[in-house]
Amino acid sequence: MSSAPLTAPLFSRAQRRCHLLLLLFLPAPALTLEKLCQLNGVDPAVARQDIADVGDEIQRFHQLELHQMVDGSFRIHGTELDRRLCLLLWLRRALRLSQEFVCEHFALPLRQRLKVLRIEKALWDETNLQALIQHCSLRLARNFTPRDRLFLQIFMKYALCQRQNALFNDRQRAWLSGKIERSAADDVIHHWQKRCHLAPHVSETDFWTLLFSLMNAPDGNRLDDLPAQKLMTAVEALIARFEQLANTRIKNQQELKLQLFTHLAQALDRSHFAIGIDNSVALDVARLYPRLLRTTERALHYFGSDFDTRFSAEEVSLVAVLFGAWLMQESALQEKQVLLLTGADAAVEQLLEQQLREMTLLPINITYQDMLHFQREGAPRDVALVITPYATALPLFSPPLIHAELPLSDHQQQRIRQLLES
């Protein structure tokens, strides 16, 4: 008896996870394992793994918990603000990856829910929503892409279904009060309250201020308001502090200022609202570029204080990457190749590697080679420095070789920095 031929999965892993998350935000019907298997076209084992993956991610990045209820259905538990911020991120991701699914299995059920709730159709009619979105575009002087317009249309329908407000603390409200996006947010809430005869609730204006801000990548060439001007001044001070701490001079700063302006504007929003980011970069930067990371962290200390926040290790690492990339670009240097010769003491070798990485701001690539192999074959091409804690004879042709006795002497450190940074 022959087995049935295998068929390609209907959706990628990323698409399936987006579908799962959106289904969890629908008010009804409750999401079950059977329904998820049916919609994503997978067997229960794959669906359970998708559920576990999504649960881990939303807990790490959004402080939300995914639970299976006694009836077998799945629910997301957390604050209304964290829930909405999670949906904001995942709905935008889903529209990039699986727009057809979003429209059929998320947007359409929202329409049906609005009918059940007897929300005035004029509020959620697509033509009227697009008119409101166009008004916001003009108010903000921003051109929304077709995908952004679709996102706003769907998210507005979701918001009209909600009966619970997103709540903010005093520090968060203070941060949002000066945002340029507040005027557009005011218009959205005023329009809905006027049609529904609802009492105003400032937290909804706060939320739409934040949503419009999170959708935007600010341009440092447009400093039209006081918050943008304050941020650019802080960026310039950050670069100056980095130069002082690193004992270096960044000559062509304009492009770096623009990159940092856009990145830090978004990082400040994430920091104020505890929106997490992937930590894999932070782990790599801490291990590979400790001096660059430490210098960036110290330079960011006063920057964070200026904006009443403290950046996470993940956020600091991304700023360190921007500084490191700029230093490499400005010096026109490629990542220097260092060969560390190994023998019988792995602990000493690891300590030597760590000291090497502590010595320079610029990225270096350290590879290991057995001492005997080096004596027979020499060093690979493009190696800038050979270093070892063991005494060894120098082959006939070799890059500079340093016999390092820990701790490294001042003379050896100076020589190593000269070889790596020249």
Per-residue pLDDT of the chain (422 residues; tens, 9 = 90+): 334 344 556 899 999 999 999 999 998 778 999 999 999 999 999 999 999 999 999 999 999 999 999 999 999 999 999 999 999 999 999 999 999 999 999 999 999 999 998 888 888 899 999 999 999 999 999 999 999 999 999 999 999 998 888 999 999 999 999 899 999 999 999 888 866 645 456 789 999 999 999 999 999 998 888 889 999 999 999 999 999 998 888 888 999 999 999 999 999 999 999 999 887 777 788 888 899 999 999 999 999 989 989 999 999 999 999 998 888 776 656 678 899 999 989 999 999 998 898 888 877 889 999 988 888 888 888 888 899 998 877 665 667 888 888 888 888 888 888 888 77
- 260 and 208 in a common domain: no
For residue 220, tell me if it sits in a domain. Answer: no
If asked whether residues 18 and 36 sit together in one domain, one would say yes
Residue 3 lies in a domain: no
Residues 239, 359, single domain; the answer is no
147 and 161, same domain (yes or no): yes
Same domain, 324 and 238: yes
The CATH number covering residue 234 comes to 1.10.1790.10
For residues 286 and 362, state if they share a domain.
no
Q: State the pLDDT at residue 2.
A: 39
Task: Give exposure, 42-58, as e/b (b: 16+ Cβ within 10 Å).
Answer: beeebbeebbeebbebb
CATH of the domain at 13: 1.10.10.10
Query: Do both 113 and 170 map to the same domain?
Result: yes
| Residue 341 shares a structural domain with residue 400 | yes
Task: Give yes or no: residues 87 and 49 share one domain.
Answer: no
308 in any annotated domain: yes
- Could you say which of 330, 362, 397 is where a domain stops? 330
What CATH code is carried by the domain that includes residue 393? Answer: 3.40.50.2300
What is the domain extent for residue 357? Answer: 337-421
Same domain (yes/no): 123, 185: yes
pTM, rounded to two decimals:
0.86
Residue ending a domain, choose from 267, 297, 330: 330
How many structural domains does the chain have? 4
Residue at which a domain ends, from 330, 352, 382: 330
